Structure 1
């Protein structure tokens, strides 16, 4: 479902290295007082990576699919 929506709207996917996920998961836990699961962390990491690479323009709509926490994972 997500991939069809991304393609239909001209969006894209961003790759992330697993080695960068643990520090980001810890940051999210500290800042938001919740422990994200691996799938949520990779989505947030991809968002920050896209920002860094200027893949997101002002005024664009961005969907970050973070549907699970560490307990569910």
Structure 2
């Protein structure tokens, strides 16, 4: 096989994940890669690249966090005994 230059490597940002994909110039990566912008509690943004399986797990985690936040936000102060 000849030497190929300028190949792009997609690699999941989750440290335990081994999923990778090499993409040739002028080619498109598979749709199994998802770039997410995560905002932490300090307002810092971080772009993260997930493979499909880790992205699905991330979506579930984000949904659970959204539900917890909505419950907290809408909880009556009277219900907390204040």
Tell me the TM-score normalised to structure 2 length: 0.27
Higher RCO (CA 8 Å, separation ≥ 6 residues): 1
TM-score, normalised via structure 1 length:
0.30
